[in-house]
């Protein structure tokens, strides 16, 4: 399983579309998993994860989160250019910009 003596705070492997993020976005309450897969390929207690750049201390997880946010930003911008898309290009660029900002914060080395 891993993570038993690990003092680091990690990110879920699905940091952009993680279960907690989706539940929050949809306003769904419920049981969260007790153990999750992380960006550094460990399984750790959910309580030892965070989607917030200022809290994540595992360097491998920070890099994973950075890459995932950049990938998602590119993906959402492409969706905004599709004919008949549910979001406008301007909306897609705004969301993409937020994710690029998060990617930058994950690459800044914060989190101790």
pLDDT tens-digit readout, 14-24: 988 765 555 55
Q: For strand 35-37 and strand 43-45, is the pairing parallel, antiparallel, or unpaired?
A: antiparallel
* pLDDT classification of 86: cutoffs 50, 70, 90: confident
Whole-prediction pTM value? 0.80
CA distances (Å), origin 41, targets 77, 82, 86, 88, 98: 28, 34, 34, 36, 26
Helix (H) / strand (E) containing 64: helix 59-81
> Over 90: is that where the pLDDT of 58 sits?
yes
Query: Cα 52 to chain center, whole Å?
Result: 8
């Amino acid at each position: 399983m891993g993570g038993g003596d690990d003092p680091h705070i990690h990110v879920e492997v699905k940091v952009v579309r993680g279960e907690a993020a989706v539940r929050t976005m949809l306003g769904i309450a419920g049981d969260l998993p007790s153990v999750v897969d992380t960006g550094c390929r460990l399984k750790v207690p959910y309580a030892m994860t965070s989607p917030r750049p200022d809290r994540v201390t595992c360097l491998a997880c920070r890099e994973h989160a950075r890459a995932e946010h950049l990938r998602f930003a590119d993906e959402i911008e492409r969706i905004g250019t599709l004919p008949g898309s549910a979001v406008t290009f301007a909306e897609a660029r705004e969301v993409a910009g937020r994710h690029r900002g998060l990617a930058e914060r994950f690459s800044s080395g914060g989190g101790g």
